[in-house]
Structure 1
């Protein structure tokens, strides 16, 4: 039966891999090539001239940098905030602790679209529209990250915390030297998922940014696509440049993602 599962796995994997291969192959074909059959998509000649043209004549690299910069900041500060909040909700006793947990949990019940108008008004009052802070700050509140990390902190025995306290360790030492290393898989998985979510975010940047120098890739790509309606090569080059960084990040950190998600399921 193992070979049956392997065949099924290969078929399912090919469903996701073949479109990527097709995109990369088409992106290195010469512009204006005549396509009659499926074989024509994969036959020479090939050229990187369109890559050079797109990179030098558009703001694609600038938009890629904006997406990377914003995604890194959102990921960093989201994980810091979520880790501290999850640790407090899990291990620090205080009044209304249950209420605060339910308050955070209720954030999962509210669709993001329902908060756009008040969020836009707040950003406008703070004068952070059309700026990097306007892209980063509204994305830092992540109820799902807090809840997931809290569930991992719940799995750390209180005896370990008490032993550190007996040795004279305070809250800061417990958090940084014990809790964070023990929950590294959850931190890694949430960081990567947060990064991907920020990288693909379109709606909020679309509402808050009008300066094309601050566009992220999800905003900038549609403006370029409108210019190339009769040719396949340039759109594929644009999509390849936009997709390769996030694909590379996923391949590099695949083990952390899988391990973090599997451990989350076990603890649930």
Structure 2
């Protein structure tokens, strides 16, 4: 009886997972098919699979806007932001995990409380700050506000807490300092968590829209999410060209996820953060 329940439970689980995967992939298929339809086509469900299909939307996107420049801006900003987030998060998380200095618990809870503050709540003071520093409409305005994030520090601290403390005690006996312990012990053992945080940071920076939309006004400094709305017409509802732009935006993200999906899953399972 127990084996019967277990086998049927596994089947039900796989069936439920398949249904969820199907619900997730149907919108992606719709976006891809619509992006190849002729501009102005009727986009009812019946017409999804009907020819004709054309690449004219992609030609229009690349010929009427500096899409390659926007892609490069997004890649450059996402990469630089990811590097800074990993460095600062690692340096901040290590003392909280290894040493219980006076006031560390209170300071940790203050940083944790930062997760409850939505980004929209600080847009006005952030804009005023960067305006007074003459940094609006620059790459710095896109990088600096997101390099010190509470999530990165908490994410790595959760992982560092699970590392054997005996390794640090042995290193201290051998005369190893804090930075050497971080470089020789903590970082090599935390590759999966660091990779997961790096991928999360890259993807979240890549798709960021609101702050870049507010802080950037020059077309040559725009990121690709900010550039996509320019393909929307204010008078005619036409989904084909914007969907082609969305496909172009999604390709780099999908490639990054497919390459590093094992690191993402391993990092989440090790840290215990869902």
| Paired residue secondary structure (2:204) | helix
User: Which residue of the partner structure matches residue 108 of structure 2?
Assistant: 101
Between 1:106-115 and 1:65-74, the stretch displaced more is 106-115
CA gap of 1:202–1:134, structure 2 versus 1, over 3 A, is: same
Give the deviation of 1:221 after TM superposition: 1.1
User: Which residue of the partner structure matches residue 171 of structure 2?
Assistant: 164
User: Which residue of the partner structure matches residue 119 of structure 1?
Assistant: 126
- TM-score normalised to structure 1 length: 0.90
Once residues 71 and 83 of structure 1 are traced to their aligned partners in structure 2, the CA distance between those partners, rounded to angstroms, is: 18
Once residues 228 and 59 of structure 1 are traced to their aligned partners in structure 2, the CA distance between those partners, rounded to angstroms, is: 23
| Paired residue secondary structure (1:30) | coil
Query: How far does the alpha carbon of each residue in 1:24-74 deviate from its partner, in whole angstroms, 9 at most, with x for none?
Result: 122223334455x53322123322232122112212222222112111111
The correspondence for 1:7, drawn from 8, 11, 15, is 15
Query: How far does the alpha carbon of each residue in 1:125-173 deviate from its partner, in whole angstroms, 9 at most, with x for none?
Result: 2221100011000111211111121121111222101212333332222
User: Which residue of the partner structure matches residue 148 of structure 1?
Assistant: 155
User: Which residue of the partner structure matches residue 198 of structure 2?
Assistant: 191
**Contact kept? 2:138, 2:221, Cα under 8 Å:** yes
| Paired residue secondary structure (1:253) | helix
Give the deviation of 1:21 after TM superposition: 1.5
Between 1:252-261 and 1:130-139, the stretch displaced more is 252-261
CA gap of 1:258–1:228, structure 2 versus 1, over 3 A, is: farther
The correspondence for 1:17, drawn from 25, 43, 46, is 25
Give the deviation of 1:194 after TM superposition: 1.4
Once residues 207 and 252 of structure 1 are traced to their aligned partners in structure 2, the CA distance between those partners, rounded to angstroms, is: 32
* Unaligned runs of at least 5 residues, structure 2: 1-7
- RMSD after superposition: 2.1
Once residues 121 and 40 of structure 2 are traced to their aligned partners in structure 1, the CA distance between those partners, rounded to angstroms, is: 45
* Unaligned runs of at least 5 residues, structure 1: none
User: Which residue of the partner structure matches residue 83 of structure 2?
Assistant: 76
Once residues 236 and 256 of structure 2 are traced to their aligned partners in structure 1, the CA distance between those partners, rounded to angstroms, is: 30
Once residues 205 and 242 of structure 2 are traced to their aligned partners in structure 1, the CA distance between those partners, rounded to angstroms, is: 22
User: Which residue of the partner structure matches residue 234 of structure 1?
Assistant: 241
Give the deviation of 1:188 after TM superposition: 1.6
Count of aligned residue pairs for this structure pair: 266
Once residues 72 and 63 of structure 2 are traced to their aligned partners in structure 1, the CA distance between those partners, rounded to angstroms, is: 15
| Paired residue secondary structure (2:38) | coil
- TM-score normalised to structure 2 length: 0.88
Give the deviation of 1:228 after TM superposition: 8.0
The answer on 1:110 being equivalent to 2:83 is no
The correspondence for 1:47, drawn from 28, 45, 54, is 54
**Contact kept? 2:85, 2:147, Cα under 8 Å:** yes
The correspondence for 2:251, drawn from 241, 244, 252, is 244
Between 1:158-167 and 1:73-82, the stretch displaced more is 158-167
**Contact kept? 2:89, 2:152, Cα under 8 Å:** yes
Give the deviation of 1:93 after TM superposition: 4.7
Query: How far does the alpha carbon of each residue in 1:194-234 deviate from its partner, in whole angstroms, 9 at most, with x for none?
Result: 11211121221122111122111222111222368343321
Query: How far does the alpha carbon of each residue in 1:227-246 deviate from its partner, in whole angstroms, 9 at most, with x for none?
Result: 68343321221111111211
